[in-house]
Amino acid sequence: MTQAVTRAPAQLPSRLHHTAYVTKDLEATRVFYEDIIGLPLLATWCESDMLFGAERTYCHVFFGLGDGSALAFFQFAKPEDAEQFGPKMPFTPFHHIALKVDAEVQAGIEQRLKAAGYEAPQMFVLEHGYCRSLYATDPNGMIVEFTVDHPQVEQINATRLQSAHAELKRWLGGDHTSNNTYR
């Protein structure tokens, strides 16, 4: 059992810089993120480095998000490097990346996904009550969530913050009663 650590308020990272994944098909990944979703391709780096005991040759691309952060993808020149460093993505909505969007952006993404032939289970919507989530599976098998917050998100977040530790303790103690009163 770990002990709680008392600490002074820390400065937080200012934002996500990027998150990175391995792909076997950069062009299919580009089509999904740039042409369908609408994220601009910001940079392509073609490199070779000594990494983990071998020369690794790869291409590394960045797709931009509105706050200046990015989604990045690597494609290795050698299939064995991709196999070693590219874990298989399980098909589960519980392993995903979520991007905040407004309702107009979400509707546009949903329309473009449908026009590109996406349907369940590659694309689905969950109404969480506190947000509306559009999920889509990218060409790598990764699930990407496009989330629209509830109009009263600040109030909802303040309520959840006040009870976050107590609710976690309650749930871990065996009381699994839902506290989502927004559905």
Find the helix or strand (DSSP H, E) in which 37 lies.
none
Per-block mean pLDDT, blocks of 10 residues, the chain (183 long): 59 86 93 97 92 91 95 93 80 82 96 95 92 94 93 91 91 90 86
Q: Would you state the pLDDT for residue 71?
A: 96
This prediction has a pTM of: 0.84
Tell me the CATH number for domain 15-87: 3.10.180.10
Residue located via tokens 């020369």: 55
**What pLDDT, on the 0 to 100 scale, is given for residue 51?**
87
Residue 163 CB coordination number (10 Å): 12
Residue boundaries of the structural domains of the chain = 15-87
With CA atoms as reference, report the closest residue to 81 among 107, 47, 117.
47
List of E strands, the chain: 18-22, 41-51, 54-64, 70-76, 96-100, 123-127, 131-137, 143-149
- Total H helices, total E strands in the chain: 4, 8
The pLDDT value given to residue 36? 97
pLDDT score for 20? 92
pLDDT for the residue numbered 138: 94
Specify the pLDDT at position 85. Answer: 86
